[in-house]
Amino acid sequence: MLYLHRLLLFSFCWIPFSSSGEESPLYRSEALEIYPVSEGVYRHVSFLQTKEFGKVPCNGLVVVDGGEALILDTPTDDTASLELIDFVERNLNAQIRKVVPTHFHVDCLGGLTAFHERSIPSTASKMTIGLARLSGKELPQEAFEEKTCVEVGAVEVIVAFAGAGHTKDNVVAFVPLRNVLFGGCLVKSMDAAKGNLADADLEAWPKSIDTVRRMFPDVEVVVPGHGLPGGAELLEYTKTLFTEVE
């Protein structure tokens, strides 16, 4: 039965999203949704209620291999984070090795306390930790400078700083074996607006996208911080969006 369950999960993974933009969730509740992206890679979606943009769906990533898992960005709060932890452990039969917030905003580390209470270690860039401290948020436990590599089973995940954009600390993550890029809030979904610019560096943003392209030229699937995944065209769209003259 366990073999059949895994086979069904992986059968979804070969088609990350349909041409119509519709997806079938592996899990859905009021607080959390989980969608397949590629083999052993899943997008988790939680929700943030904002004054300016209303209820905003926020993406993170789960990478699973060999009974181990890595979480990129926590859900927005502890309730959704606990749901995600339980799903990974019970449904994907994996132990979470680490959680990595990709910048200091609440949609990246709002549920960090839940991970710490479950004894799951966290890592973030020194810049993210510093900004989280200034904001009075729960702090990631370990720090890296501009790049770190995390092994999940036999799969390597590269987390790297490519330059400022949505925030001055935003990092991206690449899964070379699957050619999947988690762009986080540095990358916009197709036809998205510019969004929250409170901590943005608009001048640096297009240059940072170019750096991402140079660093990871083999990208096939791109998961943005908000909205539907796509291909490398999301990088071009994001660059164009922030190159436009107001």
- Whether 105 is catalytic is yes
Out of 44, 98, 137, 188, the active site residue is 188
Out of 98, 137, 226, 239, the active site residue is 226
Return the bridge partners of 70, or none.
63, 98
With beta carbons less than 8 A apart as the criterion, state whether 185 and 53 touch.
no
Out of 137, 166, 170, 239, the active site residue is 166
Out of 91, 93, 179, 196, the active site residue is 196
Out of 44, 77, 98, 105, the active site residue is 105
Helix pair 233-243, 205-215: axis angle to 10 deg: 160
Out of 44, 169, 185, 239, the active site residue is 185
- Whether 108 is catalytic is no
Return the structure tokens found at 171: 């990092």
Distance of CA 219 to the CA centre of its chain: 15
Out of 44, 58, 65, 103, the active site residue is 103
Out of 77, 107, 108, 169, the active site residue is 107
The string of DSSP codes covering 160-198 is EE---SSSTT-EEEEETTTTEEEEETTSPPTT------T
Element of type H or E holding 62: strand 54-65
- Whether 116 is catalytic is no
- Whether 103 is catalytic is yes
- Whether 166 is catalytic is yes
- Whether 226 is catalytic is yes
The residues annotated with a catalytic role in the active site are 103, 105, 107, 166, 185, 188, 196, 226
